[in-house]
Amino acid sequence: MISINDLDFHFGSRTLYDKASLHIKPKDKIGLIGLNGTGKSTLLRILVGEYKPDGGSIQMGKEVSLGFLNQDLLSYDTHESILNVAMQAFEEALNVQKKIDQILVEFENNYHDDLVQKLADLQERFEALGGYTMQAEAEEILEGLGFTTEELQRPLKTFSGGWRMRVMLAKILLQKPSLLLLDEPTNHLDLPSIKWIENYLADYEGAVIIVSHDREFLDRTSNTTVEVTGGKLVQYAGNYSYYLEEKEERNAIQKGAFENQQAQIRQAEKFIERFKAKASKAKQAQSRVKMLDKLERIDDVANDAARVNIKFNFTVQPGRHILRMEHVGKKYGDKLIFRDTNLHIERGDKIALVGANGKGKSTLMRLVAGQEAPSNGNHQLGHNVIMSFYAQHQLESLNVNNEILQEMNEAGSKRNEMELRSVLGSFLFTGEQVYKKIKVLSGAKKAAWPWPKRLSRKPTSSCLTSRPTTWTCSQ
């Protein structure tokens, strides 16, 4: 269906792909994995034509259609109803419908045979495009994703991020592409939504490429794993769990071959050094020099064990009671989010906040962080509490034209460069990487980046609006 041959791609002086190849077959369910910044999302954007490769070729049949779900879609905002947004998938049918409506208007003043024939042709085309069933299909997909019938006419901008992503997913599914490209599809989705997507993908007739850090999701949705590593696309014939086992075996074989070759090289070098000046052995020594020059070196197993390392050192010790919220209520117009809610957070609490999308998780976070005022009730921070808030749309707070270290300096922590570099190093931003502009970072690294910026201020309490005692939100 799609053949990627000897793909080369660079960001400035940095090589992401070097002679990488991959063949995508119909009905493949591919989990695309790799370390942050290796180029997973970039590959998807190359496939849809957003980026042009520097070398190699991508061969794609004319009948192949692509649907691309990515986190950039969260920024799409409109007053149109979610039903209308989803129905944008039927672009050609909607254009035909507009022409039909124009002819019907013309009939009021100009009714003749040519116009009747044109209307008949358009109606036939409209039917062939599924125009008479497109609204019903859109309603079925949206309701399958958890929207109620009453919500279908609500404007998109009134929904939270997770619900908006479902609308964009519905739009892509209605297009029925032959290849679905899903970049972190489980972000901002609740568990029922993730289960729905898993079931849908299991029965999807086309091919799918999934970029995700959710191992269980990859296990349940993929039958092939492709790892982006060393500028190559390495394929494994199984899901993520199979990949882990197979890679361990491959690494063991490669490590053994590398060590054997290194032993042979050391022996040859020892022989050359010993006999290069001896006339009777000089020819043999020269022969081994030529052998080493021609030898195809086996690489050692790459060490990808780097891990983010965070250590919290507080210069100011907070009191036992971090936050009290008493009899808090919150409404948006006539919509009730919370009423008579009491909350008590103590030092050392690690709290996961769960609940269906739209039930008020992010709203509660903003209330806790003091970024939004309750409609009624009391909100009181404890003694010496310094609050830090990592929000769902945190990337909007970054100046993407700044270098990483420059953005840290502007965060107002008053730390020197060595201290800022130490914080950045904990998040795997090392050496010259601190001089990269934020806009060239991968999506995952951009998402990680606000953390060192905030931790440089040594908060004593943090709020994260992401899947990281449990509260359940319900109305």
Determine the Cα angle at 399 with ends 398 and 403, to 5°.
Answer: 105
CB hemisphere CA count around 109 (13 angstroms): 3
Task: For residue 206, give the nearest of 27, 434, 403 by alpha carbon.
Answer: 27
Phi, psi of 383 (to 5 degrees): -70, 130
What's the gap between Cα 46 and its chain centre? 15
Q: Quick one: 14 exposed, middle or buried, by C-beta within 10 A (0-12, 13-18, 19+)?
A: exposed
Residue 101 is which amino acid? Answer: D
- pLDDT tens digits, the chain, 475 residues: what are they? 899 999 999 977 788 999 999 999 999 999 999 987 788 999 999 999 999 999 999 999 888 999 998 877 777 889 999 999 999 999 999 999 999 988 888 887 777 778 888 889 999 999 998 899 999 999 988 988 888 899 999 999 888 777 888 899 899 989 989 999 999 888 767 777 788 889 889 989 999 999 998 999 999 999 999 999 989 999 999 999 999 999 989 889 989 999 999 999 999 888 888 887 777 788 888 888 888 888 888 888 776 655 666 666 677 788 899 999 999 999 888 888 889 999 999 988 999 888 776 688 888 888 888 888 888 898 888 988 888 887 765 565 677 788 888 878 877 667 788 878 877 777 767 777 777 777 666 555 555 545 555 555 555 565 555 444 444 444 3
pTM over 0.75, yes/no: no
> What residues contact 62, with CB distance under 8 A and at least 6 apart?
none
Starting at the earlier edge strand, list the strands of the sheet with 321-332.
335-346, 321-332, 376-381
Residue 40 burial (CB count, 10 A): 25
Could you write out the three-class secondary structure of 192-239?
HHHHHHHHHHHHCCCEEEEECCCHHHHHHHCCEEEEEECCEEEEECCC
SS3 304: coil
Q: Are 174 and 141 in contact (CB under 8 A)?
A: yes
Q: Are 368 and 464 in contact (CB under 8 A)?
A: no
Angle of helix 161-175 relative to helix 134-144, nearest 10 degrees, comes to 140
Task: For residue 86, give the nearest of 132, 143, 128 by alpha carbon.
Answer: 143
Residue 148 is which amino acid? Answer: T
Give the pair of three-digit tokens for residue 326.
């008493």
Q: Are 58 and 235 in contact (CB under 8 A)?
A: no
What's the gap between Cα 260 and its chain centre? 40
